[in-house]
Amino acid sequence: TDKITLNNDFLIYDAKQRVLSMLEDNYGAPVNKPFAAIGKNALGPLKAKNAVWLGMLSEYDWHIICKLADIMAGGDIIAGSMITEQYLLDLEREAYLSLAGEAKTQERITNMLTKGKPLRN
């Protein structure tokens, strides 16, 4: 369980004690075990675009949601394919860089920084 230190004067001491305790317990980093992806075919119902047709989402909102869904499904692979956490992180990085290069994303970022409100473009 996580320990909470309420007194800032004890933060470093408590952190050091926690690390020493982990050393005594022979703690090791978690193993990155492969797991089965749900695959691209699982996204069929999501990609029905009902929320866009109902006016709840913009086309660009939908574009972003589809990128996120593709990451969560494991990309363009079939259901049951074994993937790792690093594989998902690589997909996420690729999607992030792709979105960051798009004009509508840059407009959203600029609007949030200048006006403090999200832009629905």
DSSP 85-108: HHHHHHHHHHHHHHHHTSHHHHHH
User: Residue 6: pLDDT band by 50, 70, 90 thresholds?
Assistant: very high
pLDDT at 46 over 90: no
Question: Domain segments of the chain: what residues?
Answer: 32-115
Q: What pTM did the predictor assign?
A: 0.70
63, 66, 68, 69: CA torsion to nearest 10 = 170
State the pLDDT confidence band at 16, using cuts at 50, 70 and 90. very high
Q: What is the pLDDT of residue 109?
A: 97
Query: pLDDT tens digit string along 51-110?
Result: 778 888 899 999 999 999 999 999 999 999 999 999 999 999 999 999 999 999 999 999
Where residue 36 falls (left for φ over 0; alpha for ψ -120 to 50; beta otherwise) is beta
Q: What are phi and psi of 36, to 5 degrees?
A: -80, 135
Instruction: Report in angstroms the alpha-carbon separations of 50 from 13, 33, 102.
Output: 54, 36, 24
Across all residues in the chain, what is the average pLDDT?
A: 92
